[in-house]
Structure 1
Amino acid sequence: MSTPLTQMILVRHGATDSNLARPARLQGRGVNLPLSTIGRRQAALTAELLKSRPATTLYSSPLLRAVETAEAIAAPLGLEVRVEPRLVEVHVGRWEGRDWGEIEQNDREAFENFQRDPATFGYADGETMQQVQDRVRPVFAELLARHIGEQIIVVSHNVVNRTYLAHLLEIPTRYCRHVQQDNCGVNLIEHRPGSERAIVRSLNLIDHLAEAFTEYPA
Structure 2
Amino acid sequence: MRTTGGVAALLLLATLTACGADEEPRDDSSATASSSTASSSSGTTSGEPTATASTSSATADGLTTPGSRLLVGEAATVPLVSPRGGTQVGVAEVVVTGIEPVPADDLAGTEVDEGQAVHVLRATLTVVELAPDAGPLQPTVDLNGAVDGGPLGKTSSADADALGCGPLDLDEDTAPGTVLEMCVTAVSDPDAQVDATWAPAGSAYAFRTGAPVVWAG
TM-score normalized by structure 1? 0.24
Which one has a larger percent helix, Structure 1 or Structure 2?
1
> Larger Rg: 1 or 2?
2
Which one has a larger percent strand, Structure 1 or Structure 2?
2
TM-score normalized by structure 2? 0.24
